[in-house]
Amino acid sequence: MKQLVRFEYPPELVPAFRQARRLEWLTIAYLISTAALMYLTMGQSQAMKTAWFEDLLSLTPAISFHIATRVILRSPNEDFPYGYHRAVSIAYLCSSVALFAVGGFLLLDSATTLLKAEHPTIGTVVIAGHQIWLGYLMIAALLWGTFPALYLGKEKLPLAKQLHEKNLYTDAEMNKADWMTASAAILGILGIGMGWWWADAAAAIFIAFDIVRDGFTNLRQAVFDLMNQAPKTVDDQKPDPLLDRVRETLAAQPWVKDFTFRLREEGHIYLGEGFVVPTEVSDQLAQQLEDTARQIEQLDWRIHEFLLTPVRELTKQERA
Amino acid sequence: MLRGLLVATSLLLIGCNGFPKDPEHTLDQVRNGTLIVGYSANPPWVVKTANGPTGTEVALVEAFARTLPAQIQWRNDTEQNLFEALEHRQVHVVVAGLTDQNPWKEKVAFTRPYQEVGKEKHVLASIQGENAFIVALERFLHQQEATLPPSVQP
């Protein structure tokens, strides 16, 4: 069976890849510390519980990133002739399922709390002989959940685009969700302090909506990717401009009369094939096919394998 | 949003007099008024006598009422009925030799343990979510800790 040549990031992207891995280790350590702090100060607050769940959950992209980046480096073999790149798509699917499911659960849970009009109790704790309202400690723990998350997310976004890593991008978005969650939870705690018992559950619902929305968008994209949807950009999920460059390259070939092509995402890389109608069938056809395919593969590191097949003619349907 | 949050936080932390507040204003109503205390016999914490309740927890609540200050109105009933009364905000505090393992902790607010006897952590029960009142009660209990005997054997 024909195997894909072993592929890793091109040399110029290796530093970005290393940086991404470092950031993801940092993220794991940071999220565990936040989750521990929140667990210790949770009390009966609904928004704190939401923020805590969200923190545990937001470990998924970082952990699946580490597993996937290890798996994709394996060489293709008889069993896996296309290599292990889809591991990235699977990691992306896991992250988005987790995100979506917990968002939904939290939404229900907070809504029930609000409907039952449960009043959250936040008492005091004694630390080193000082008696402190637990709400202040919660706010302190939540502040630790805001600024570092903001920083991590900002650092990851450009890397995710460079590396075409949707899972990394989800993670950067997750960090954004983290700091928004924490901020909303702080407002919820302050609300309770003001005697507005509903503030807490309301904050939790607001947070949950945001998680559900993020989860749904990503879940949809992860499923589409596994169904070989045409490549989409990492950030706004618009058609990848690389498609136009492939089209232009094929159109510029003097020996090509008519053509059509398709690409699909295989984790962070693309595979695709083109069908061309040659102007005339000469002895050079094999050479021309091979050269053009190479030229397209060299357009961008993401195009890992591009196959060209000569055909007699293309129907209107095929061209579209 | 971040800046606004920081400003709001620091303002509240500076002006933290009367923070947290009660949603139902329990502390304001009790202060210079009446503290309704439910009790259920559980010696030596709560002992029922012909002249009203006595015992460690009864003494604690009486001392707490003096700090507010407030008159105490006693109400004797079963633990179950008292917890239901707490849920409906008909009493302010329940004393019954409760520990923090009581399954009612989801429905009512237990204070921090004011005393540990063996592995039992003793608490008083109050209305859920009335945070100013609970903080006031816990603050009082914390101040009493030093004066309580380290371990009262039932």
- pLDDT digits 0-9 by tens, B2-32: 555 555 555 555 455 578 999 989 999 999 9
Residue B152 has pLDDT above 60, yes or no: no
Interface-testing mutation among A132, A144, A190, with chain B (most B C-beta atoms within 10 A): A190
Residues above pLDDT 70, as percent of chain B: 84
Note whether A126 contacts B22, CB cutoff 8 Å. Answer: no
Is B153's pLDDT higher than 50? no
Please calculate the CA angle B133-B137-B21 and round it to the nearest 5 degrees. Answer: 25
Give the three-class secondary structure for A229: coil
Q: Does B37 touch chain A (CB under 8 A)?
A: no
Q: Please check whether residue A59 is in contact with residue A91, taking contact to mean a CB–CB distance below 8 angstroms.
A: no
A123 — contact with chain B (CB < 8 Å)?
yes
* B21 to A146: CB separation less than 8 angstroms, yes or no: no
Average pLDDT over residues A78-93: 90
pTM, rounded to two decimals? 0.78
- Cα torsion angle, B71, B74, B75, B77, sign: positive
ipTM score for this prediction = 0.79
Select the residue of B12, B25, B134 nearest A193 (Cβ to Cβ).
B12
Those of residues 70-109 in B touching chain A at CB distance below 8 A are: 109
Highest mean pLDDT among A106-120, A299-313, B4-18: A299-313
Per-residue pLDDT, averaged over A155-178, amounts to 88
Q: Is the CB of A139 less than 8 angstroms away from the CB of B129?
A: no
B11 contacts chain A (CB < 8 A): no
User: What is the interface size between A and B, counted as CB pairs within 8 Å?
Assistant: 76
Q: Per residue in A239-261, pLDDT tens?
A: 999 999 999 999 999 999 999 99
Neighbouring CB atoms inside 10 A of A108's CB total 11
Contact list, B132 vs chain A (CB under 8 Å): 195
What's the confidence (pLDDT) of residue A204? 84
Q: Tell me what the mean pLDDT of segment B109-118 comes to.
A: 88
Confidence of residue B154 (pLDDT cuts 50, 70, 90): very low
Report, as an integer, the average pLDDT of B36-45: 93
Above pLDDT 90, what percent of chain A? 42
